[in-house]
Amino acid sequence: MRKKKNNFLFFLVLIICVGIAIFIYSSSKFEREKPNIDIPDISYWNLKWDIPIKISDSSGIKSYKIIFIKDDEETILISKKGNNQKNIELILPIPKINISNGDKLQYRIEATDNSFFRFFLGNTSNAKLEFTIDTKIPVARIVAMSNKITKGGSAAVVFFAKDENLANISISNGYQSFVAFPFLKENYYVSIIPWSIHNPSFRGLITIQDKAGNVKKSNIGFAKYSKVYRTSHLALKNSFIDGKVAELIENANEFSLYDFTSRFNMFRYVNETIRGRDEATIKSKILNLDLTYFTTDINVFKPLKDFVIVGLYGDHRKYTIDKQPAGESYHLGTDLANVKNAQVTNSNDGVVVLSESLGIYGNTVMIDHGFGISSLYSHLSEIYVSEGDEVKKGSIIGRTGISGFAFGDHLHFEIRIQGTPVLSTEWMDSKWLKVNINDILVEAKSIIENR
């Protein structure tokens, strides 16, 4: 009898223990997940900007500490109760010691949650943070630059930039940022900067930032010349909509002509949707810039022989159908004409980055010439080059035509600086090119080599 009673008590205790174990294992009160300590991934600190620390735990935070470590000795800077908060945000404190540039600081952040795990002690996390103090401002100075820039146009700047922990160099026109290209020697850079026709003003600025967040900004003091571009009013004939516009819609293979309820909708689809796709395609080809190309002698662009200009850069075109507004666009290149199907010539060595049929642009070739300079040739009847081809100065890349949204046989010619269309006639002017671009590069080269 006693044996049966003992067995019963044993199994009862066992069941109770198993039940307690299951309760502990499954209960949120006994959760075993450690608090999360979120700290930024940094290697350098300038002591000026705040370093945020975020602590979180689903069971609530019991306590947390921030400890400063120097020569293996720990000093508690912050030790507080968490008051069961599930999220705590704080700023890393600066220890009250003499800190010099180049010193290495080490912290340990400790957090314990409200879990009953570990005999009610809770789960504890530790995170270490180590970085080097860097309070030195980067060095930046301009070596040579163009005297002026015109709205819609371009200008060049060569500059020196140095920092032991350099992180980023950017060039801005006040609205857009551009890449700086390594130039000739270490720590020297060049950038050709566009003033987009869509930007009402221009402010050239070089920004150098190091890994600690120290920033040096230098103004680029180009003289700024405003320019008024023409506004044209173009009345589109029904025959043009039913012919050229309908052809572009059919070639897009997205909608049937029967899907459009009016000529207005047909034109709007071509002028807005297809034009937008063309622009996206062109921009996608300019993303991977060649940062190794170097030259101090850019040739004047002359894509056609004995041409006449039949369309101006910057022309703000407003379209009407049956005397009603139908849309607008900006003409971002220069239209050139010679004879029908005239040969189109490449003027500077480069790599073909686009060779395909687009909607508005028609058969199009774009060449990357380095330094962020790209030339674009559209409405071609024939294309003689393929994407990836290396093309030399003087090579024939195609023939003029009426492909795309063209009213007659001509070449639509663009110069783009890091993707921004600029006043292409500047680059077709040998005097402008010499004074504003090539002479600046030559001057900078001479200064750098003699230092």
| pLDDT single digits (tens) 25-71 | 444 454 667 888 999 988 999 999 899 999 988 888 888 999 999 88
C-alpha dist (Å) from residue 63 to 40, 114, 126, 129, 438: 21, 9, 12, 19, 65
Nearest to 361 by CA among 282, 303, 415, 255: 282
pLDDT of residue 34: 84
Q: What are the φ and ψ backbone dihedral angles of 390, each rounded to 5 degrees? A: -90, 125
Report residue 74 as tokens: 């720990």
Report residue 165 as tokens: 């922990």
The mean pLDDT of 114-127, rounded to a whole number, is 69
Per-residue pLDDT of 354-387, as tens digits, reads 999 999 999 999 999 988 999 999 999 999 999 9
The mean pLDDT of 262-281, rounded to a whole number, is 94
Domain architecture of the chain: domains with CATH: 32-133 (2.60.40.730), 139-227 (2.60.40.10), 231-422 (2.70.70.10)
Nearest to 153 by CA among 310, 399, 298, 332: 332
Report residue 120 as tokens: 């009610």
Residue 202 buriedness (CB in 10 A; 0-12 / 13-18 / 19+):
buried
Which DSSP helix (H) or strand (E) runs through 283? Answer: helix 275-284
The mean pLDDT of 64-85, rounded to a whole number, is 89
Per-residue pLDDT of 161-171, as tens digits, reads 999 999 999 99
C-alpha dist (Å) from residue 272 to 25, 165, 194, 199, 329: 62, 45, 24, 20, 9
- Residue 119 pLDDT class (50, 70, 90 cuts): very low
Contact present, 167 and 208 (Cβ < 8 Å): no
Which pTM does this prediction carry? 0.82
Report residue 49 as tokens: 């900007």
